[in-house]
Structure 1
Amino acid sequence: MHLMLKARGAGSGAVSRLLAKNPHNVYDRMEKGVRVRIVYITDTESEIEVLIHAEPDPVDLVRGTPNGYDITQYINDREFVTSSLFCSYIRPALGTALNGKPKEDYVQWVEHPFDMELSFGPVASDLPDRVVEELFSSLGYAVTLERDELSYTFDLKKKSSIRRIRLHGQVTVQNALRQLFLLIPVLDNYKHYFISEDEIDKIKRYGEGWLENHPLKELIVRRTLRFSELIRKYELQEGALSVSVEQAGELNQISDKDINESDEGIQDGSAGEVERSESPVSLNELRYRAITEVVTGLPVKRRIVDMGAGEGKLSARLAYISGVESILAVEPSGQSRLRAMERFAKLEDRSGVIAMPEPVIGSLYYFDEQMQNQDVMILCEVIEHIEAYRLNGIMDTIMNDYRPDVLLVTTPNKEYNEVYTMEQESFRHHDHRFEWTRAELAERCEEWALQGNYTFEIRGIGDYAEEYGQPTQLVIFERRKENGS
């Protein structure tokens, strides 16, 4: 994690005074358990270059947290990137510059625009390049985005998913830092802390003088405040944005299974808020209904695997289906499995329960012989969290090694994102690695079915929109019976 700040021209030496860091002394301190260093590479009256660097311990990031013992810490390949974490680490060191209150002798330089170059990264963003560029070019910067070219000995992908960003423009030190402190978390769309009303004060403070007229203000506000209630409060204080609260919820919180949803399937307004807050039934609820209807109608459904079961909501529903004898609720997250165990324990005292789900630690990345030869395997909102290049291998394992009689797969319909007025190329959730159109999914299903000796049918789930279809796609694979097997 780093930020490079370079200024050229007469008076550039004043930058070190605005930062309140002596160029002759290396700033090297621990902030929140992370080593933060500020080093001046060049220091003259006409040119100054400073490196701001944060070096966290990845083990300390999860030690003592609820996710500390999850195996997902080892299989999640998301790069460690410049995000809200980085901003929180370096903020104490840059407080003087952010507040614009240097020593009295240098107050005159606070409003002075320097010829400045800023570079930072790596940044992982779900925003397309054109949107990233517009975020900064609208502020007067010339923007350069750099992606690393990757070289593999096998067919993978040609470009890294991360970007490094370089900006050049005439800007004050205070405005440059305030813009970055607000926009870096917007790029990453990730906050590592609880988002409260303090975030409204921060967006007003750091956005003063530039955010009001920014053409992407709605996007910035939405991704900073995230929750409909906070967006509403901000609108009341600042004047209404053109985006409605309901639309903000659709754009920002479009659902994923088991992300902060209630037992009834209506979600609580955090990172997985219900897709359409005006609708009485969430899309997540509709997915569960569709899956349970398919399973109920199957002639054989004794043994079921709910792969990526999360907190066990779907598995708990399957427990009431007549003809079911065993349910393996497979999930890599320890925290989610604990919640699933609590949910399953409540089933013991309820009438109508046919089979008690069994929580199992596991992942599609690892072979598990107990998954073999089951009647039904379910991947509900799972495959889009896997890198696309890995899917062929995983589907080969499922169809040719596990060999379930029926495989049910749900995944988002990318075309329907247009109905949510989402930015082009953006995803419904920060952890999605891809989202496919109906044609793209059908093409992949053709390949998998042929290689695995399955037939398949694709159905839509959710409200239908002309030209765009339905928000979720459900694929029903059935293994061909040969020679009575």
Structure 2
Amino acid sequence: MLVTISYAAPSASDLGYLLHKHPAKLQTFDIAVGQAHVFYPEATDTRCTAALLVEIDPIELARSKRFGGDSQSLGHYVNDRPYASSSMVAVALGKVFRTAMTGRSDTHPELAAAALPLEIAVRALPARGGVDLVTRLFTPLGWNVRSTPIPLDADRPEWGESRYVDLVLSGAIRLSDALRHLYVLLPVLDDAKHYWVGDDEVGKLMRAGEGWLAGHPERELITARYLAHQGSFVRDASARLAEIEGVTDEEPEADARPSTLGAQRLATVLGILFELGARRVVDLGCGEGALLAPLAADRTFTEIVGTDVSAAALARASRRLKLHEAADRDRERIRLLQSSVTYDDDRIAGFDAAVLMEVIEHLDPERLPAAERTVFGHAQPASVIVTTPNADYNVRYPTLSAGAFRHPDHRFEWTREEFDTWTRNVGTRYGYDVERRGVGPDDPEVGTPTQLAIFRRVAR
């Protein structure tokens, strides 16, 4: 199984920074039933190609109970799984390029956020639905598609074509988006996952499909195939995607983009939570549960708490999460609490991560010190994620009057310099290291529309 990713541009070898894999090294990673190798056939100043080669042990695959093995069934030994670019390649992509899929690059953040001229080749790809389906899946995402059917036998053309294709995609796409497209659509084309589909699979689909799946014309087919046609999971995912499609961002959009700023912000925060390894998460000022929904869908998160000062917002979040019909174990795992971020609350203390997503700008400035003491001084989570509008970017919104805020309930909106000062002061005062990032298109003059800070508590 072979996938290659090529990037042609000045300083093309910077692709290695985005993939977090050094072009001069051969790296090998263990996967459940084999190994994945990453190497670079070419890495010059003008063109760079990274290759992912997946080697599967067919006997181990057949014997693995996790992957549906049955030593009494000959069909598990005689199949195409070790040789076709099936869902096993998607699993390898997710493991080997996990950080790249989140869009994170500490050294080249502007490159990670940019649409790059990419060419991706996938060899021997099972395509149940043929070339037409391949085109229908990838073209709406901005790809130019070249899909070449593979004959059953090159020496016997009268036998016709097999259900396999060699696929080449080209286009100007963000690398993180490209990897997430492959992660979802390779098993969709195969229409046969090699492992048991469990409760966490809906969460994986929501994360990888963030920003593009809800509006895809083949959404229903993608959802059904990715979730192995398991009715309850498909219904759950379909409902969540329909809800996402109907959500509008509270902020004006500067231009037409593939996903709203709110969707990008949500995807970024989720990616950081996985990057931090958080399992117990509290969403402070959770509102109607936009972040809680994808957290609840993923069993990686073992304890989830949402707090808000509004009882009405919590009631809507409860309906969104369907807590009224949830099993007892889910009621214990997911809690909604009426609470204010400016008052100490022992129920939110000691979590792996706390999230304040578009919350602080709704507080009166004189209430900010109380919120800081509550979150950083009393609750003391291991990490805190804060997002807030970047006032510098407001000039890029043509419908926004000079000096106006993006939302009528905002009490302030900080410039990049003001946010930098606040984060450094809070980190110093309460013992947290601070890392700042952005969300949305990065304008060279005014930055990104959303500012983001990650606070990590320093061990003492």
TM-score when scaled to structure 2?
Answer: 0.49
TM-score when scaled to structure 1?
Answer: 0.46
